[in-house]
Amino acid sequence: MSDRVEACTLGFTDGAMRYDAQRIKEAGPFLFDPGSDGLGAVPVAQGGRQAAWFVQGEFGQAVLRRYRRGGLMARISADRYVWGGADRTRSFAEFELLRFMHDKGLPVPRPLAAGYWRSGPTYRAAILVQRIAGVRPLASMLDTGSPAVVAMAIFAMHEAGVWHADLNAYNILLDQQDKAWLIDFDKSYRKVLSAERKHANLLRLRRSLVKVAGSRGLQWWEELARDYRLLTAAKAHI
């Protein structure tokens, strides 16, 4: 069986879903309902804006996340977005970006399913992705995590032309083999990235690390930035 994500689309009342036919044989909107029998949903303790759950099923261990707004926009609508077509929904866009990255061998969770529910000019959405075993966020791993490993993961992402909309210390995970994983690609996209654009992504991570760990976070980022520059220089000499 191929390890590539085999995307299929299924329509249902007031919406549709896209899913990985390699991992999901029985598709339906129940996959996005944490109350569904058999999913064994457990709320994610940190992050997720109280709209993420650990679940399990024929697809294995996964994370179910409903899209919710943050900041001032949440006061207008907590979970509704303006409709602009199926492929422009937050869920389908993230599914396709993860699919692209997974199939290129980048360190991201495998996308399993994405759904949306339309109501007039707005929609709600959710996504189901593979759960990565034995990981902890970079924010809690600064004393043992390797800046070089994280730099390599970010460099590979940028080389693939992917810009991460929220590159922070909680969206980078380290597993027990010290491999770095990148998660949460909502609002992220593919494009030709300039050196300035790549550096801006790294600066976003710097702000996060400083917020989490102060001077220690800054020192950690400086080591990461140095390793990233070494990777860039090595590529330039190939």
Q: Which residues are catalytic?
A: 166
List beta partners, residue 123: 81, 118
Query: Can you tell me whether residue 131 is helix, strand or coil?
Result: coil
Of 8, 106, 113, the residue nearest 58 (C-alpha): 113
Contact 157, 182 (CB under 8 A): yes
| Token pair of 109 as six digits | 């969770």
Contact 107, 164 (CB under 8 A): no
List beta partners, residue 117: 15, 124
Q: Alpha-carbon torsion 142, 108, 105, 1, what sign?
A: positive
The span from the CA of 122 to the CA of 238, in Å, is 48
